[in-house]
Amino acid sequence: MTTTATQPAPPGGPGAPPPPEEGRGGIAGLLELPGQAVRAVTKSAATTPGRLTVIAVGLVLLSLLAGLVATLSVQGRKDTINGLIEHREPLAAAAQQVYRALSDADATAASAFLSPGTEPPELRKRYERDIAEAGAALAKAASDSADVAEAAAQVDVLSQRLPVYTGLVETARANNRQGYPAGASYLREASELMRAKLLPAAQELYRVDTTRLADEQDDATGFPWLATLLVLALLAALIVTQVHLTRRTNRLLNVGLVVATVCVAVSLLWGAVALVMQGVLVGNGKDDGSHQVDALVRARITALQGRADETLTLVARGDGGGYEKDFTGLALQLVGQDGRSGLLGEARDLAQGGDAAGDVEKASQAAADWLKAHKEVRRHDDAGEYSDAVKLAIEQKRPDGAALAFQHLDDKLQDAINVGRQAFLDGTRGGDRALTLLAPGVAILAVVAAAGATMGIRERLREYR
């Protein structure tokens, strides 16, 4: 929000020039005016010195007001950009982390469950890491959600249900260790809790945080109408005054007013260049950064949920038709009808020509491999060759297996997401740097302009003494 920056401040706020001590005549009158301002202005405007005084007061007030509004607007924008870097993006990343870690836990728990004998330690570690990451990221997401009701509601659901989920997974493990098929049912119940309650909440939290990030990025690249209008008005007023004085006095230049005009012109130019640069850089941070990350995250989570479906179909041991139907839908979302569109296609289009293009292309290739391996898994399982299907689905080292292809897909998407986050940070930080010193600079220039206008008009007024 930048509205605070546009609140007009009382004239003579911070940065107002100290009134000249030896003020006499019109200046002294000016100092005594506050109570009867309107009456005095109308009265004195009838005379030339009076009119000059009114012009001087007007120019000083306009300089100070324009300076104040511009300074606050620039400072507000700098704060927004810093907020993007320090709060919004990390929060969106935390929400993304919750969502990803939970989806991954769902898929990993099922994979670990399928392995005959003791579960592979690397899968167990991965699951434990997912849960730890989800918990840590959830705490981070919760820290900022208190004032956003829709985010707070999702954080509530996640905090209440995540411990229940882990409890069910452990019960499933305990049963499975004893060779009891009830383990599979506990795992399916855990997965149902994950899909029906936890993942929708995580998805909503992610959506809320991503929308807030995009909104603030728009705020940081919006056009500062009020400040621009005030500065332009000031510039016009200064020029009109000078033209007026030149006609009246036949003197070409008034040093004070020229100084004021130059100051305002410099502010305008500096501000315009800095803001355009900042806008472009923050915009890059959005287009090459956070926007791209969003597409990649959605692709990655779709893939993770598909992987969970793939393994759960096998956990269900011949009764997993529902999961397979889910998988088909998710695969369609991921790569589209032609295998080249869908979410991955969208991410590829966004990444085109960028640093992440190679990673996204490799991810697409891995997705194709994975879907091919999945077809083989289904062929084996449907033919009753359950053990072969399981091996093909979960053996991590098998080059034609689903596990390796999926791992490759996930890794490449993670790489691309990291590139995107870096692009966001580079762009946004660059935008912040473009505004360096602009706020104090504009304030000082405004004060100098006000002083210049005062001096310039006082010089003319002297001639009427």
Partner 1 sequence: MSKRRFVRSGVLLAAVAVLATACGSAGKPVDPAPVSDAAWPQPAHVAGGESGAGGSSDTSCNPLASLAPTGGTAIPAGSTMAKIRERGKLIAGVDQTTYLFGSRNPTTGNLEGFDIDMVNKIADAIFGGHEGKVQFRAITSSQREDVLIGHDVDIVVRTYSITCERKKKVNFSSVYYVAGQRILVPKEKKVSTLADLSGKRVCAAKKSTPLTKITTDPAKVVPVSVDNWSDCLVMLQQGQVEAVSTDDTILAGMAEQDPALAVVGDRFTTENYGVGIPKDAEDMVRFVNAVLEDVRKSAWQASYQKWVGVPLGPASPPNPQYQ
Q: Could you list the residues that contact partner 1 (CB under 8 A)? A: 116-117, 156, 160-161, 164-165, 168, 175-186, 188-190, 192-193, 196-197, 316-319, 322, 383-387, 390
- What totals of helices (H) and strands (E) does the chain contain, helices first? 17, 0
Q: What share of the chain is helix, strand, coil (3-state, %, to 5)?
A: 85, 0, 15
**In whole angstroms, what is the distance from residue 323 CA to residue 192 CA?**
11
1: tokens are 């929000």
Token pair 């008005």: residue? 233
**In whole angstroms, what is the distance from residue 67 CA to residue 443 CA?**
5
> Which residue number, 8 or 163, has a Cβ lying nearer to partner 1?
163
Helical axes 149-177 vs 199-221, angle rounded to 10°: 150
> Which residue number, 117 or 399, has a Cβ lying nearer to partner 1?
117
Closest CB 374 distance from partner 1, rounded Å: 19
Closest CB 137 distance from partner 1, rounded Å: 19
> Which residue number, 256 or 401, has a Cβ lying nearer to partner 1?
401
**Which among 451, 372, 357 is positioned nearest to 406, based on CA atoms?**
372
> Which residue number, 182 or 437, has a Cβ lying nearer to partner 1?
182
Closest CB 314 distance from partner 1, rounded Å: 10
**Which among 423, 179, 186 is positioned nearest to 287, based on CA atoms?**
423
> Which residue number, 376 or 411, has a Cβ lying nearer to partner 1?
376
**Which among 168, 163, 167, 159 is positioned nearest to 202, based on CA atoms?**
159
> Which residue number, 83 or 135, has a Cβ lying nearer to partner 1?
135
Closest CB 154 distance from partner 1, rounded Å: 15
**In whole angstroms, what is the distance from residue 140 CA to residue 151 CA?**
12
> Which residue number, 35 or 179, has a Cβ lying nearer to partner 1?
179
> Which residue number, 320 or 354, has a Cβ lying nearer to partner 1?
320
Closest CB 185 distance from partner 1, rounded Å: 4
**Burial of 318 (C-beta count, 10 Å sphere; 0-12/13-18/19+):** exposed
**Which among 420, 405, 290, 409 is positioned nearest to 361, based on CA atoms?**
409
Q: What is the dihedral of CA 100, 89, 224, 256, to 10 degrees?
A: -170
Query: How far from 23 is each of 18, 26, 52, CA to CA, in Å?
Result: 11, 8, 15
- What is the chain's length? 465
> Which residue number, 159 or 365, has a Cβ lying nearer to partner 1?
159
Q: What is the dihedral of CA 301, 93, 358, 326, to 10 degrees?
A: 10
Closest CB 389 distance from partner 1, rounded Å: 10
> Which residue number, 231 or 389, has a Cβ lying nearer to partner 1?
389
Q: What angle do CA 316, 318, 320 make, to 5 degrees?
A: 50
Closest CB 97 distance from partner 1, rounded Å: 23
Cβ-proximal residues to 221 (8 Å cutoff; 6+ apart), any chain: 278, 279, 282, 283, 286
244: tokens are 């007026």
Closest CB 417 distance from partner 1, rounded Å: 31
Closest CB 178 distance from partner 1, rounded Å: 8
Closest CB 392 distance from partner 1, rounded Å: 14
Cβ-proximal residues to 244 (8 Å cutoff; 6+ apart), any chain: none
> Coil, strand or helix: which one is 108?
helix
Closest CB 100 distance from partner 1, rounded Å: 22
Closest CB 295 distance from partner 1, rounded Å: 30
> Which residue number, 140 or 197, has a Cβ lying nearer to partner 1?
197
> Which residue number, 185 or 341, has a Cβ lying nearer to partner 1?
185
Report yes or no: 367 and 335 within 8 Å, Cβ to Cβ.
yes
**Which among 420, 423, 369 is positioned nearest to 399, based on CA atoms?**
369
**In whole angstroms, what is the distance from residue 258 CA to residue 239 CA?**
9
